[in-house]
Structure 1
Amino acid sequence: MSAPGGGVEFPDAWYLILASRLIPDLDGGFTVATLARARQLADAGREPLLLTLDPGRPENHAAHREEFARRGAIARADAMRNLFDEASSGVDGGAADWLRRAAHAGSVDESLEYRQVTDAMGRPVVDLPVIAEDPDWHTSAAPVGVRGADGSVVGVVDGFGELYRAWLDELVASLRAREDKPVVLICESRQLGELLARWRPEGVRLAHTIHIAHVLPPYTPDAPVNPLWERWFAVAGEFDAVLWPTPQQKRDVEQRFGAHSGYLVAANAAPRVLAEPAPVAGNRIVMLNRLAPVKRVDHAIRAWQSVHSVVPAATLEIWGDGVLRDDLQRLIEELGLTASVVLRGRNDAGPVVFDGAVAIVQSSAYEGQGLSTLEAMSRGCPVIAYDVPYGPQDQLEHGAGILVPDPGGRGDITGLAEAMIRMLTDRPGRDRMAAEALEVAHRFAPEAAAAALAAGIRHALR
């Protein structure tokens, strides 16, 4: 179905996109994919509300919204809203009326440490329990303190889940009062999905997106399930639609846990695809990812020793930032590679960073889908990647690059080096893969991604 202007038509509904946080240049592909979904809806005339739950300062949230709007990542800054900004909207101080109504009599737990959230004038609004070093903190029913205009605790809500649901209840009620039509909530977070799976006010449908792999090393279909996912799988059948980013992950999940009519594939979109690859300029290979352990950037750096000995003029550009930046810089220096390997830091230029590059290399232990490789392919840049779930296996099944074996989830640094040397020295082969990259990227074009998202939403509404 097409909308006016040739785009994809989405059902007539109110749309909410819920994420734990959305901060510029943080959380990598999660933020990119979430905002891209919002733009697909906005471009089709169904502008969603983007909802976040991080208890930061109102001025910081405003700065995030303005920056996303400046970049064109969201249509309007006021389409992005935060729970704690709105909880702090009491006219005379204290929590907003909707939160006070949701609270019941009680007091905070004196045995716990609490973090106090204040409004823009510094007046206390909410007391959040600090559940330190517990990956299941979001499931705690520890009382959340709700403060009145005089600054005293006037009641509590039972845990983060009840706090989140109280805000969503208010939003849903206000939207449906304006126009009585369905509300589609797209949940972008596993933790939030666990808390909302059985929350279902009148007229609400819940679609849940997936961003990462659900298994532990060696990331094979029969590998141990990440314990953080076990509770999610227990409630997965409650969602009206679950949108998996790759066909392989959907197949693996269904073979292991059983089929579900609401399981659909809705890949994240590549950027607009170039008509032809950019000409190669020099002998530059690029990486673009967080500098985090799961990305195994050290594998690419260690492999570069062999690459440099064969192609001394080649360079490895590593774009991105993260906790391992200092460690990786030390490794580059220890291996004597400072002249040919450089950490470029955050990339603000977008996919044009791949223009003229010989290839992108991805050495991750796993991917949810692999947005940086899609960005590279949209520019005609071939991919070198470990053969890991769940992005590279699907993206490169029809060419466009080289899959390097990842035996036992340990990686193959020698194989990674050989693939990079091949790209650098076999220019006809590299150019053939560049053309294939554009063909593959068309399968992930924005229109295709939007059509899959719309199909998932139609299923949820049925």
Structure 2
Amino acid sequence: MSEFPDAWYVVLSSRLIPDLDGGYTVATLARARQMADAGVDEGRGPLLLTVDPGAPAEHAAHRAEFVRRGALIDPERMRNLFDEASDPAGGAAQWLQAAAHAGEADPALAYRVVAGADGTPVVELPVVAGDPDWHISTAPVVVRGRGGSIAGVIDGFGALYRAWLGHVVSGLRAQRDRPVVVVCESRQLGELLAGWEDPGVRLVHGIHTIHLEPPYDADAPLNPLWSRWFTVAERFDAVLWLTASQRDDVQERFGLSDVHVVAPHGVAAAASVVPIGDREGGRVVMLGRLAPGKRVDSAIRAFARVVAAVPHARLDVYGEGAERERLQALIDERGLTAHVVLRGVTEDPGRVLDEASAYLQTSAFEGQGLALTEALVHGCPAVVFDVRYGPRDLLASGGGILVPDGDEDALADALVRVLTDAALREQLAAEAVAASRAVDPAHAMAALAAAVTDVLARPSRRA
């Protein structure tokens, strides 16, 4: 078992909502669960903190659903800023009023009212419409006192979030005075916390996705949402990149320091692996959102060629999204309705992978590739476009076939090879299970524990 240093641990996310934000939500909850399994806080795991302004009843329903799915053990460990924003006696909570100073709402902005249990306003959030940088706005957040009077304002979302985190950390220290490690899972929140100067807090920033724009090569333009983040990246005590490839690309391009480490998302081994000969012959599966970046249309076009060579082949696509109508039209247009089916969301991806003879991935980019990792865990041979980041790292020791990015003919040829060559399927299936061990929870937690041990051995980079 990985040895985590004696400290308080907090995992911070913008929001955690069932079936929203794809692999981000799954990975964030899995990391917290694995930290508990590794002994953090005597097996209770980290606190999970979110800052989305939903109603308390909605947040309670989200927690209950995560518990039902086995993604969350103790719902009391998952807390939300706005659930704690009101005082039982009325108005905003004391921590919120203490953070406010004299001021008024900005008359040029609309405001979203967040009410307490009694229906009276507690806080009013400025609506910064049409601006992707809304989170760094210092537009006043209005804090209401008992009876609805204005108790003051807080200068923007960053100050609001830091005030709540300061309140949470003070509560932890009141129980026991020891260091606090915050694992920030959100880039936007990370930007806002880079100026948090509490010397007893270590800020560890997790990365979930690619930082590049098309054509996604190492020197491609930065995604605009990342440009400002890189200006504050050195203020984090550690940055957790999911793959060595992305970390190395970033260090070579920006010359960053050794606070940038590799710590993948861990995926647990399957209880058992179905022998490749016991699976459904010719069945190929995909798992993921029906979104442009997943390029499911490439899979559909390639599969027309697969069916010509393997008439019993079929492709089952699991996931939902905005592309459903367009993809169904393409299936109909290509005459593939008997071979390609959009199955919707599955709550049992393991069963799907256990039944399949091959897993197909056509994404334009990835962060790590959680679905691909799941396929490897289940011994399902993979056919994957060679994109940044994840596929090349995960398949370095086998388990699948990397196809030149965007080459639909090569994609079809690789699928035909896997579906028609039993010996190749057996080989790839065995390699897949072996390859998946590099990103099992033990390795993932060992990497995270090592990063935390290192940051606690030196002063905060923000103090």
TM superposition score category, shorter chain reference: over 0.9
Residue number in structure 1 paired with 2:10:
16
Residue number in structure 2 paired with 1:271:
268
Counterpart residue identity of residue 97, structure 1: Q
CA contact (8 A) 1:277 1:435 kept: no
TM-superposition CA deviations, 1:404-449 (whole Å, max 9, x none): 101xxxx122221111111111121121111100110111111111
- 1:418 matched to 2:417? The reply is no
**Residues 74-85 of structure 1: pairs in structure 2 closer than 5 A:** 74-85=72-83
Paired residue total: 451
- 1:67 matched to 2:43? The reply is no
CA contact (8 A) 1:360 1:376 kept: yes
Q: Distance in 2 between matches of 1:102 and 1:266?
A: 35
CA contact (8 A) 1:274 1:438 kept: no
**Residues 26-41 of structure 1: pairs in structure 2 closer than 5 A:** 26-41=20-35
TM-score by length of 2: 0.95
- 1:242 matched to 2:239? The reply is yes
- 1:120 matched to 2:114? The reply is no
TM-superposition CA deviations, 1:267-305 (whole Å, max 9, x none): 111221455443322311000011111111111111111
Residue number in structure 2 paired with 1:4:
none
SS of aligned partner of 1:375: helix
Q: Distance in 1 between matches of 2:370 and 2:78?
A: 23
CA contact (8 A) 2:284 2:359 kept: yes
Residue number in structure 2 paired with 1:340:
339
> Which of these residues, 447, 453, 461, is aligned with residue 458 of structure 1?
453
Q: Distance in 2 between matches of 1:275 and 1:70?
A: 23
- 1:177 matched to 2:171? The reply is no
Residue number in structure 1 paired with 2:160:
163
**Residues 36-435 of structure 1: pairs in structure 2 closer than 5 A:** 36-46=30-40, 47-88=45-86, 90-273=87-270, 276-278=273-275, 279-406=278-405, 411-435=406-430
What is the CA distance between 1:120 and its match in structure 2? 3.1
Counterpart residue identity of residue 12, structure 1: D
SS of aligned partner of 1:332: helix
In structure 1, the gaps of 5 or more residues are 1-6
SS of aligned partner of 2:204: strand
What is the CA distance between 1:337 and its match in structure 2? 1.3
Q: Decide whether aligned partners of structure 1 residues 416 and 245 sit closer, same or farther in structure 2, where only a CA change above 3 A counts.
A: same
What is the CA distance between 1:142 and its match in structure 2? 0.5
SS of aligned partner of 1:162: helix
SS of aligned partner of 1:164: helix
Q: Distance in 2 between matches of 1:44 and 1:36?
A: 12
Ranges of 4+ aligned residues in structure 1 off by more than 6 Å: none
CA contact (8 A) 1:197 1:238 kept: yes
175-184 or 259-268, which deviates more? 259-268
What is the CA distance between 1:356 and its match in structure 2? 2.5
Counterpart residue identity of residue 332, structure 1: I
Counterpart residue identity of residue 385, structure 2: Y
SS of aligned partner of 1:181: coil
Residue number in structure 1 paired with 2:460:
none
Counterpart residue identity of residue 61, structure 1: H
SS of aligned partner of 1:355: helix
What is the CA distance between 1:129 and its match in structure 2? 0.9
SS of aligned partner of 2:315: strand
CA contact (8 A) 1:402 1:419 kept: yes
CA contact (8 A) 1:273 1:441 kept: no
CA contact (8 A) 1:380 1:435 kept: yes
Q: Decide whether aligned partners of structure 1 residues 179 and 225 sit closer, same or farther in structure 2, where only a CA change above 3 A counts.
A: same
TM-superposition CA deviations, 1:328-369 (whole Å, max 9, x none): 122212222111111111110132210021111110010000
TM-score by length of 1: 0.95
> Percent identity at matched positions?
58
Counterpart residue identity of residue 14, structure 2: S
What is the CA distance between 1:173 and its match in structure 2? 0.8
CA contact (8 A) 2:273 2:354 kept: no
